Structures are given as C-alpha cells and as structure tokens.
Amino acid sequence: MLTVAKMPILTRRKIIAGASASAAATCLAGCMSTNPNPAINAAALSPPPPAPPGHPAAVAEAVAPNYDAVYGEVKDGEFVVPAVKLSEVNSAFLRTNVAYATNEAAGTIVVDPANHYLYHVEDGGRATRYGVGVGREGFVWYGDATIKSKQEWPDWYPPKEMMDRRPDLKKSMVALQSGEGMHGGPANPLGARAMYLWQGNHDTYFRIHGTNEPWTIGSSQSSGCIRMINQDAMDLYQKTAVGTRVVVLQSPGATPPKLARV
C-alpha cells in the first residue's frame, strides 16, 4: 500500500533557491539532457535496482505489448515521431501492464523516482507502468500535484542564463507569444506531449513530457521534470484528463516542497 503525505505548495524556484547560479540556470532550462550520447549512457542501459519486498513492482504480473508496434514510427499531424531504437533503452523501462496494489483511484498517476517508473492506476488492481527519466541530484522532489493543462507539441522557452551558456541554441530560437523560444516539433526537448503540474493556483514549473532522447529513460538527468519516451507520453496523454491527481513518491535526496510566497 502506498502512503503519500499531503505536502504544501511546491515550486521549482524554491527548490533551486539554495543551488548555485549555474545549477539554477540549468533547472529553469527544464529538460535538456546532460548526456547526449546514447552509446555511452550506462545509467539507462544498466539494469535498475531491484524493487524492495512488498513494493508493487516486486510482485507485478507483467503483460508486455508488442514493442515493435508500440514504439514504431507514428505520424502525428504535421510531424513524425521516429521509431524507438529498442537497443538504446533498457527493456525494464518499456511500457508494461502490471499488478499494482494502491489506495489511489483509477486514473491517478503515481511517479516512483527511485526506480524510474510512472504508474497510470487502473481498475482491478492493475496499472500501466512506464519507464521515466527524473531529476538529477539536487533537483529531486516529491509531493502531490494536479494536471492543470496539456499541450501537444509544446513550445519551449529556455531562460536567458542557459542562452548565455549555450549560445549554439540561439539559432533554434524565434520570437514566440511568450518570449524567445523554440517551436514545438521533433527537435524540441519537450517532445510530442506535455502535461503541466500545478498545486492549487500555483504552477510548480514541473512537467510530465516526452523526449527526443529516449536513451535517457531510466536515468536521473532532468531538472525535475518527468520525461517519457514520446510514444509513451502520447499514450498517457490521451487517457489522462485535466484535473488528474499526480503523486510523486519520496525518494533518496528528495526535497520537501516549501510554501510558495506570491
């Protein structure tokens, strides 16, 4: 049984407040990988740690789909999501339907950062389990949130600090409605789908989103966002409504959220 404490308002700005200036810039940037080379991503390709006794993942009766079909090329409007190179992703992090004991209602999303899994709770003691990438050291968080909005092929707005540090990004930026950024599309770090996590009327600045770097799934590289293989993000997106409860479980190094002062 999962027990999650009710937490006060969290905000990415509070989490990065004690970090160095360079770390803060990286956190605000959101979702770019620190390891762009899939061939040497040992974290994603090595087996995940075993689940502790009694953990839902330890007793899961797995029902795996046809991965060649699930992770094949997808035409999505004007864009094409490329097929996933399954050799680049540890099979433990591919989409699987599992037995899952929880008191959370069907439809709830439960994120287990320690084991790099996201569960979409279903009726009958089942859940669809997805592998995810989560925050690296210093950007791990836990608590409850709600999906306030969803976007297909979302735009991305890197902060000025990151633009100063990564001038090569300038050529990809254009003037958008909310400032200088990158149009949604296959090259965008937010991937094909994004779900925006809020607490009450406060944006946490954390997202569940796709990624154009599937080899990072199963590792801790993000700035707190929860990244998924694009095909998985699209699958979760289509069965998740605005208002859905999201529970992020506590994990080693996680920072308790603080009340936002606005």
Can you give 5-37 as a three-state secondary structure string? CCCCCCCHHHHCCCCCHHHHHHHHHCCCCCCCC
Neighbours of 58 (CB within 10 A): 10
Instruction: Give CA–CA dist 224/141, Å, rounded.
Output: 7
Token pair of 41 as six digits: 């991503």
Task: Name the amino acid, one letter, at 61.
Answer: E
CA 196 → CA 17, 123, 240, 261, distances in Å? Answer: 21, 25, 12, 20
Token pair of 239 as six digits: 């069965």
Instruction: Give CA–CA dist 163/25, Å, rounded.
Output: 9
| pLDDT values of the chain reduced to their tens digit, one per residue, 262 residues | 444 444 444 544 444 444 333 333 344 345 665 554 444 344 444 445 555 544 555 444 788 889 999 999 999 999 999 999 999 999 999 999 999 999 999 999 999 998 999 999 999 999 999 999 986 554 567 889 999 999 999 988 776 666 776 788 788 888 888 778 888 899 898 999 999 999 889 888 889 999 999 999 998 776 568 999 999 999 999 999 999 999 999 876 555 444 332 2
Query: What are the helix (H) ranges across the chain?
Result: 12-15, 21-29, 42-45, 67-70, 160-165, 230-238
Name residues whose C-beta falls within 8 Å of residue 150's C-beta, 6 or more positions apart in sequence: 193, 194, 195, 196, 237, 240, 242
CA 164 → CA 29, 35, 257, distances in Å? Answer: 12, 20, 29
- Give the residue extent of every domain in the chain: 12-248
Q: Which CATH number fits domain 12-248: 2.40.440.10, 1.20.950.20, 2.60.40.4070, 3.75.10.10?
A: 2.40.440.10
